[in-house]
Structure 1
């Protein structure tokens, strides 16, 4: 038996054991808290049309913007292999400056303050 077959058999056996244990273990001690669905603190059986704070929405939008920024800047280390690396670094710096200025503006306007 070669090494690849041995590793494949060990991986299949280990994953099967873990899958069986994961199905068997939660059934040992069920209680009310484990059986109830968790919905971020909201009552899952209540009305879905509850008022939502605008501040949470703004923070979520900021979070998405900075996640997008990270996704755009992740390939930046390979930018020096392009035909014009100076242009790549210029545009990356422009994105950083634009988002930093926007964050400072939001901060100065009080959009990140929770207590008024």
Structure 2
């Protein structure tokens, strides 16, 4: 039992010594306030929180998510094409792409894709 206690204290002392050496020797002694603050979508979290948010930026982000999910849905369709009936695959693919293109035309006509607006 005494050996276990001695081992425990030796390990505890070594851990504390190594931790103190790391704190003393570490290169990051200067705290940079800008690097230690969280970054949220281009906003400074320490400033006034009721600043106007660009709806155009939000719409571009939503459009990106829609087209990102589109790729996720198209990839399995290509794999399924090899195993299922080609006619059902074509109907499903064309319907999906028509809905996607209709959404793109709608966004285009409403000016959501024009960044300079």
Same fold judged by TM-score > 0.5? Answer: yes
Residue 70 of structure 2: aligned partner: 69
The 2-side partners of 1:52 and 1:94 are apart by 35
Q: Tell me the CA shift for residue 62 of structure 1.
A: 1.0
For structure 1, list consecutive stretches of 5 or more residues without a partner in the other structure.
1-22
TM-score by length of 2: 0.60
What's 1:48 paired with?
Answer: 49
State the 4+ residue runs in structure 1 displaced beyond 4 angstroms: none
Return the alpha-carbon distance in structure 2 between the equivalents of residues 68 and 102 of structure 1: 14
List runs of 5+ in structure 2 lacking aligned partners.
Answer: 1-21
Q: Which has the larger radius of gyration?
A: 2
SS at match of 1:74: helix
Which residue pairs with 2:36 in the alignment? 36
How many residues of Structure 1 are paired with residues of Structure 2 in the alignment? 92
Is 2:91 aligned against 1:90?
yes
TM-score after normalising by structure 1: 0.60
Cα distance 1:115–1:80, how it changes in 2: closer, same or farther (>3 A)? closer
